[in-house]
Amino acid sequence: MRTILTLLLICMLACPSCTPKLTQTPEESLKRDFPRIKYDSLRPFDIKGIYEGNTENEIFYYVPEMGYLFIGEIITKDGRSLTRERLQEIISQRLREKIKEIPLDKAVSIGTGKHRVIEITDPDCPYCRKVSEFFSQRTDVTRYVFFNPLPFHPKAEGKVLYILCAADRVKAYEEAMTGRLDEGDFKICEDAKIKELLETHKNIANLMGISGTPFFFIDGKTAVFGADIPKLEKLLQERQ
């Protein structure tokens, strides 16, 4: 709600009759108003007078005439987040090169389908579990699962170590993602090599600039953040 109200206020204040004409480029104005911001690009947004900028993993909006900058999602009346769509587009472009550096042999590989899905997940993330259930019903994907247990899930790292230490990692993964390990009735692996492998998984998430879960990269082309199952279904359907 705060984002919508902020946007409405900016649109009202940025009308031509209320504000002075620009004497600098938007880039010059942004540097003057917010000199500490390091950004990759700045371009006109669909709303006149507002410019869209981006850092590595964030979209911001800037109104040069008022010297206002705000961060938040702009959502259409039909529920589309223009902010999230743009961020996915930007990160997808960046990851198409970085993805070549990822050692897929370090992942937990699930399935043999034609669609290649690189996944970053946390076994105690409810949204990760939701998408895992979605993928478990498909036979057209090969998943390369990397783990990034989040600090506010205190039992997640132990579950990841259990999965990576298991003789059948796919089975152990399914146990974790379906909640069968939630009562803590499993042995936490103390193998130094497995702990090193977990650090490799975390470093891969850092390399990709991903701090949250779940995250998916579909067929080497498109990033998907969160449990956006309609988006995943659409991408997999488009690439039949």
Q: Could you read off the pLDDT of 80-130 as tens digits, one per residue?
A: 899 988 888 887 787 777 788 889 999 999 999 999 999 999 999 999 999
Q: How far apart are CA 146 and CA 118, in angstroms?
A: 8
Domains contained in the chain, CATH given: 2-70 (no CATH), 96-238 (3.40.30.10)
Q: What is the pLDDT of residues 210-235, one digit of tens each?
A: 888 999 999 988 888 899 999 999 99
Find how far residue 212's CA is from the centre of its chain.
6
* Residues forming a β-bridge with 141: 115
Q: Check whether the bond before 26 is cis (ω within 30° of 0).
A: no
- 183-191's contacts with Cβ under 8 Å and 24+ in sequence apart are 184/155, 186/158, 186/159, 186/162, 187/162, 188/158, 188/161, 188/162, 189/161, 189/162, 189/164, 189/165, 191/165
Q: What is the dihedral of CA 174, 176, 179, 180, to 10 degrees?
A: 80
83 within 8 A of 90, measured Cβ to Cβ? no
Provide the whole-model pTM: 0.71
